[in-house]
Amino acid sequence: MAPIHVHPRILVQLKKTDGTAGDASPAGKGQGMIAEILSTGEEIRCGHVVDSNAAHIAGKLDRFGVQVTRHTSVGDGLEEIAGAIKEMGKRADMAVVTGGLGPTADDRTAEAAAAAAGVPCREDAEALAAVERFFTSRKRPMAPSNRKQASLPRGASPLTNPVGTAPGFRLKIGRCLFFFLPGVPREMKRMLDDGVLPAVSAIPGPNRNTASTRTIVTFGLTESDTGEQLAGFADRFPDLTLGLQVRFPEILVKIYGRSNHSEKLEKRMSEAGNWIGRRLGCRVVCPDGGTMFQAVGRLLGRRGETLALAESCTGGLMAHGLTQVPGSSDYFLFSGVVYANAAKTAVLGVPETVLAGQGAVHEATALAMADGARRVAGADWALSTTGIAGPGGGSREKPVGTVCIGLAGPEKTMVFRYHFPFEDREMNKRVFAFTALDKLRRHLLDNPVA
Amino acid sequence: MAPIHVHPRILVQLKKTDGTAGDASPAGKGQGMIAEILSTGEEIRCGHVVDSNAAHIAGKLDRFGVQVTRHTSVGDGLEEIAGAIKEMGKRADMAVVTGGLGPTADDRTAEAAAAAAGVPCREDAEALAAVERFFTSRKRPMAPSNRKQASLPRGASPLTNPVGTAPGFRLKIGRCLFFFLPGVPREMKRMLDDGVLPAVSAIPGPNRNTASTRTIVTFGLTESDTGEQLAGFADRFPDLTLGLQVRFPEILVKIYGRSNHSEKLEKRMSEAGNWIGRRLGCRVVCPDGGTMFQAVGRLLGRRGETLALAESCTGGLMAHGLTQVPGSSDYFLFSGVVYANAAKTAVLGVPETVLAGQGAVHEATALAMADGARRVAGADWALSTTGIAGPGGGSREKPVGTVCIGLAGPEKTMVFRYHFPFEDREMNKRVFAFTALDKLRRHLLDNPVA
């Protein structure tokens, strides 16, 4: 990583907060300040719990223009924690540490921080008063073990915890200002908002960078094809970063920007978004991070039109996705999840002769299903899916991954057949559902209301 | 961290795998081998994505008796990744790195590994053949950018990726054997199982402990009530650890064990599982980690009976969940996702007088919906849901969180009304769906077939 310059006022502010002098040699990439996160706890270390605290903290700091460059997780061991803190004290300007502030014997973060700072722990009067207040206000007796929570490294300033017993604290170690917070997500989030972010946002300076992210949701190209369509981005927007992420079967195109001039940054982000929009055309489902379900819902809502579904192989996934969106009852009327052939006939009027002659997975069946759903529900549009999601049920003619899709509208009914190369049931259900919804989305875009 | 002894055979094996000599000074806590995990990617670094890969890998390795001591996440930058790899090469015996193996310009992990190892990258014939095979088997043209994925550090051995284009690789750097895997969870999981764990499990040694985990899925009690029901576990099973985890609205009860005698351990795990089963009774949905959807499916399958659904407020979630289970077409016939009142009448025969008189969210409607679904589909059983998932649509009499559930069977139809205290649409959809399915599950358990 290339060394960079941090505006002196930030360092001054960082020094002021705990009154000690810091080493004035931060490193980064032109950001205002660089930060790290440390999560402690056996449950994270051994994989029983996913570390969602780190993502929450990184996201919040990023929006304040503070770039988190590294997350680390270690277990409950004193030496592991102290070792990680020492390393971070050499690399970062600020750090947030979570976990290990509870009352039990395996909570050793304060001790580890003291070891890393080379200072002893001592009972902090302010912290003890806060713990006692917590129990008094809840009319509960304070266990002797809770007294341990008021023992802080010398030089630390306590941070109030309004929703739990563990007071946090802040302490400069090496050149880095550390904020120590509990690991319980609810307490951590509250103290991050109340104690950490105000301290960070109070830091002024013209070099203070704003961070901005834009997520463009696309469907219809593979990740590598999307990347190739966007070749040339780096030359055209050297000040921005492009990232691709798979949210199967959607591909998210992300633009990351950072600047000390937020208006200019937003202008650049918009230019980049438009450039990507021109490159990907109708593959752009949502320019603002939404889902295919939201995109289809918005289009229908704007047109004042309604939708019905007939789902065989997608098994209710389309209906479930559409009804996750608040307000979907304005345009979504009905889905007939017709797994059994008898239900295809009884509910949607698919002729038995078609099912017997052509089979359930066939264009003729998809067509009759879409027509039936549209008619039964009195909808403007209807989509149908019938196919083989697997893992069983495939044949040479109709292998796993085959799907027939029907799209019925006011003027005509169209049918399509696809084969996808997936063996996995869930992947097939998803790719079938998104392909069907995308058919409707693009048809609506191609046929605007007069 | 106290220095420990690693059985020499493990080191021999680690050396053998890539033919190079390693530094023979691993550290740990009495485990056979110590491991680290590195996750790369801007989306993790800046908090847009929670790093669930690390938890998955740590959990899997733990069950093989390999303790992960540290997880690290960094962004996409070449120097950040190379720096983290170099540090890990000094600390760990083995490491798993995920992300950055894709075809696009922001995928730089192979380059970073080469930089950390001090070797150049070159095109690997075996890796190139694997990428080409992937495209050939799917009858798709290979993009030029995919060729980049076959460029590996000198000395690396490719790891097959049966489900994607990014070949992984393994390479010794410092004293540590690194396994580099893609970041896409599905590909990473498959390659971890196929490529990494067999290499790890092949390593013998008397110090090697077996780890075992059992997950008992429960429904119907809060997390804290479940904990209270299980008070006394620690006294009775001091050699095992109990953990609770919320997979809303299910509560997972987890038993963790570790021993150098795998038969004894399995016996203890079974005793503990039975003890928990006696304490929680019919709240146990699956004693083996399965879902409510699987539990209901197994019961119906064993009885040779069929199910139909009528979903209003659950919007297809019950059908989607049931049809995620392979083989569900044996017992699942139909769901009428009747969001609009007209569909309730047209498809399920709910009398317009009931909808006009009592309203859509009412016991009378739930009853008519369940009866209608059972009749239309010719099913043995039917469940119906009608309620208010929110965030809008609530009233004083029927606030958000209200649901009416119907259960129709061969002998009678029952209806129930509940109110849940959630404001969130997704939480309500889930708790409504699970409550309805649990009604059927418990009814089937109480009424065994003769």
The Cα–Cα gap between B196 and B215 comes to 24
Would you state the structure tokens that stand for residue A298, as one six-digit string? 């918005």
Instruction: Tell me how far CA of residue B49 lies from CA of A399, B39, B42, B43, B71, in angstroms.
Output: 34, 11, 9, 6, 15
HEC profile of B222-263? CHHHHHHHCCCHHHHCCCCEEEEEEECCEEEEEEEEEECCHH
Per the CB < 8 A criterion, the answer to whether A217 and A434 are in contact is no
Optimal mutation site among B36, B48, B90, B138, interface A, most CBs of chain A within 10 A = B48
Task: Measure CB to CB from residue B58 to each of A46, A308, A332 and give the nearest one.
Answer: A46
Q: Is B254 an 8 Å CB contact of chain A?
A: yes
Name residue, tokens 């289009």: A299
Sequence-ordered list of residues with C-beta below 8 angstroms from that of B107, at least 6 positions apart, any chain: B76, B100, B101, B148, B149
CB contact under 8 A, A333 and B318: no
- 3-state helix, strand, coil split of chain A in percent (to 5) is 45, 25, 35
Helix (H) / strand (E) element for A158: namely: strand A157-159
- In order, the DSSP letters of B325-384 are STTGGGTEEEEEEE-SHHHHHHHH---HHHHHHT-SSSHHHHHHHHHHHHHHHT-SEEEE
As for the ipTM of the complex, it is: 0.75
Q: How many residues does chain A have?
A: 450
Nearest residue to B406 via CA among B362, B448, B376: B362
Would you state the structure tokens that stand for residue B183, as one six-digit string? 């970041």
Task: Measure CB to CB from residue A425 to each of B41, B103, B324 and give the nearest one.
Answer: B324
* Helices vs strands, H then E, count in chain A: 18, 17
pLDDT per residue, tens digit, chain B (450 aa), is: 333 332 222 222 222 233 333 332 223 333 467 899 999 999 899 888 899 999 999 999 987 778 899 999 999 999 999 999 999 999 999 999 999 998 888 899 999 999 999 999 999 999 999 888 888 887 788 888 888 899 999 999 999 898 888 889 999 999 999 999 999 998 999 999 888 988 887 665 544 567 788 999 999 998 778 888 898 898 999 888 887 777 889 988 888 888 888 899 999 999 999 999 999 999 999 998 899 999 999 999 999 999 999 999 999 999 999 999 999 999 999 999 999 999 999 999 999 999 999 999 999 999 999 999 999 999 999 999 999 999 999 999 999 999 999 999 999 999 999 999 888 899 999 999 999 999 999 999 999 987
The Cα–Cα gap between B60 and B354 comes to 54
What pLDDT, on a 0 to 100 scale, did the predictor assign at position B206?
43
Sequence-ordered list of residues with C-beta below 8 angstroms from that of B353, at least 6 positions apart, any chain: none
Nearest residue to A77 via CA among A93, A99, A51, A50: A99
Helix B292-303 / helix B425-446 crossing angle, nearest 10 deg: 30
What pLDDT, on a 0 to 100 scale, did the predictor assign at position A308?
98
Using only C-alpha atoms, chain A has a radius of gyration, in whole angstroms, of 28
The Cα–Cα gap between A178 and A320 comes to 44
CB contact under 8 A, A334 and B339: yes
Rounded to 10 degrees, the C-alpha dihedral A119/A121/A126/A127 comes to 120
- In order, the DSSP letters of B181-207 are E-SSHHHHHHHIIIIIHHHHHT---TT
Per the CB < 8 A criterion, the answer to whether A335 and A372 are in contact is no
Task: Measure CB to CB from residue A70 to each of B72, B322, B332 and give the nearest one.
Answer: B72
CB contact under 8 A, B1 and A326: no
Sequence-ordered list of residues with C-beta below 8 angstroms from that of B115, at least 6 positions apart, any chain: B78, B82
Name residue, tokens 């690991």: A183
Helix (H) / strand (E) element for A244: namely: strand A241-247
Task: Measure CB to CB from residue A323 to each of B74, B243, B315 and give the nearest one.
Answer: B315
The Cα–Cα gap between A417 and A397 comes to 13
Would you state the structure tokens that stand for residue A228, as one six-digit string? 């190739």
The Cα–Cα gap between A45 and A54 comes to 13
The Cα–Cα gap between B76 and A371 comes to 49
Task: Measure CB to CB from residue B146 to each of A224, A376, A378 and give the nearest one.
Answer: A224
Order of all β-strands in the sheet with A250-259: A241-247, A250-259, A210-218, A284-286
| pLDDT under 50: residue ranges of chain A | 1-31, 206-207
Q: Over the stretch A6-60, which tens digit does the pLDDT of each residue have? A: 222 222 222 223 333 333 223 333 446 889 999 998 888 888 888 999 999 999 8
Rounded to 10 degrees, the C-alpha dihedral A75/A79/A81/A86 comes to -150
Q: Over the stretch A192-227, which tens digit does the pLDDT of each residue have? A: 988 898 888 776 554 467 778 899 999 999 888 998
Residues 214-253 of A with CB under 8 A from B: 215, 223-225, 227-228, 231, 234, 241-246, 248
Which residues make beta-bridge pairs with A258?
A: A211
Phi, psi of A215 (to 5 degrees): -115, 120
Which residues make beta-bridge pairs with B94?
A: B35, B177
Task: Measure CB to CB from residue B55 to each of A50, A215, A333 and give the nearest one.
Answer: A50
What pLDDT, on a 0 to 100 scale, did the predictor assign at position B212?
82
Task: Measure CB to CB from residue A69 to each of B41, B58, B75 and give the nearest one.
Answer: B75
Instruction: Tell me how far CA of residue A378 lies from CA of A386, B82, B340, in angstroms.
Output: 21, 60, 10
In chain B, which residue's Cα lies nearest the Cα of A47?
B55
Q: Is B386 an 8 Å CB contact of chain A?
A: no
The Cα–Cα gap between B331 and B304 comes to 7
Residues 187-216 of B with CB under 8 A from A: none
The Cα–Cα gap between A404 and A432 comes to 9
Nearest residue to A362 via CA among A313, A410, A411: A313
Helix A78-91 / helix A109-117 crossing angle, nearest 10 deg: 50
Helix (H, G, I), strand (E, B) or coil at B303: helix
CB contact under 8 A, B376 and A346: yes
Residues 280-339 of B with CB under 8 A from A: 308-309, 311, 315-320, 322-324, 326-329, 332-339
String of b and e for B55-91 (b: at least 16 CB within 10 Å)? bbbbbbbbbbbbbbbbbbbbbbbeebbbbbbbbbbeb
Helix (H, G, I), strand (E, B) or coil at A378: coil
**CB-based burial label for A423 (10 Å; 0-12, 13-18, 19+):** middle
Would you state the structure tokens that stand for residue A354, as one six-digit string? 């078609």
Sequence-ordered list of residues with C-beta below 8 angstroms from that of B134, at least 6 positions apart, any chain: B161, B164, B165
Q: Which residues in chain A are contacts of B1 at CB distance < 8 A?
A: 77, 79-80, 83
Helix (H, G, I), strand (E, B) or coil at A420: coil
CB contact under 8 A, A256 and B70: no
Instruction: Tell me how far CA of residue A260 lies from CA of A198, A257, A418, B204, B384, in angstroms.
Output: 19, 10, 49, 56, 56
Cα B125 versus chain centre, distance: 35
Per the CB < 8 A criterion, the answer to whether B120 and B114 are in contact is yes
- In order, the DSSP letters of B392-419 are S---SSS-TTEEEEEEE-SS-EEEEEEE
Cis omega (within 30 of 0) for bond into B391: yes
Which residues make beta-bridge pairs with B402?
A: B419
Per the CB < 8 A criterion, the answer to whether A362 and A338 are in contact is no
Helix B341-348 / helix B363-377 crossing angle, nearest 10 deg: 40
* Helices vs strands, H then E, count in chain B: 18, 17
For residue A207, the one-letter residue type is N
- In order, the DSSP letters of A293-356 are HHHHHHHHHHHT--EEEEESTTTTHHHHHHHTSTTGGGTEEEEEEE-SHHHHHHHH---HHHHH
Q: Is B371 an 8 Å CB contact of chain A?
A: no
Nearest residue to A13 via CA among A26, A1, A3, A27: A26
Q: Is A414 an 8 Å CB contact of chain B?
A: no
What pLDDT, on a 0 to 100 scale, did the predictor assign at position B133?
87
CB contact under 8 A, B57 and A46: no
The Cα–Cα gap between B57 and B197 comes to 10
Q: Is A59 an 8 Å CB contact of chain B?
A: yes
Nearest residue to B425 via CA among A317, A429, A55, A328: A328
